[in-house]
Structure 1
Amino acid sequence: MYKATIFVTLKESVLDPQGVAVKGTLHTMGYTEVSDVRIGKRLEVSLEAANQEEAEVAVTAMCQKLFSNPVIENFRFDLEEV
């Protein structure tokens, strides 16, 4: 059994309106030292696989097909055997 922790973020070239709104709120709250905020997603997936390589292939496919939009998002993941 493997556990994948997946992080999906907008590409640097893509405007993040949610991040801009959070940055504005932080400034309003007095945290004027904050220069940028980017919002992303964190997912945890448990899966059965024969080995780590098979798990990596499966998680990569999941990210490319479902969890991220490759046009505007990047993904990375950490994989651990549990």
Structure 2
Amino acid sequence: MVREGDCVAVFHSIHRVMKAEKVLKGHGLPVLLIPAPRALHADCGLAIRYAVVDRQAVEDILKAEGLLPEEIHIHSGGKYLKSA
């Protein structure tokens, strides 16, 4: 479900992740609401997956909307690396 190099954004609540998905899709970004990978601790159990090439646009929109995720991870080498 998560490809090599994809970003996974984890949020504090189901409300925030669903609102983030709606906002991002409203801007035409190719994001996908997914079950949070087991390796990540997600309070709401859902996350947003997006390609690294869309990372700047996704994060800029989330920041402007006050919807920054709790954590962002990049899937690399079969692991999820926490982004700074």
Specify if TM > 0.5: no
TM-score for the superposition, normalised by structure 2:
0.29
Higher relative contact order by CA 8 Å / sep ≥ 6: 1 or 2?
Answer: 1
Structure with more of its chain in strand, by fraction: 1
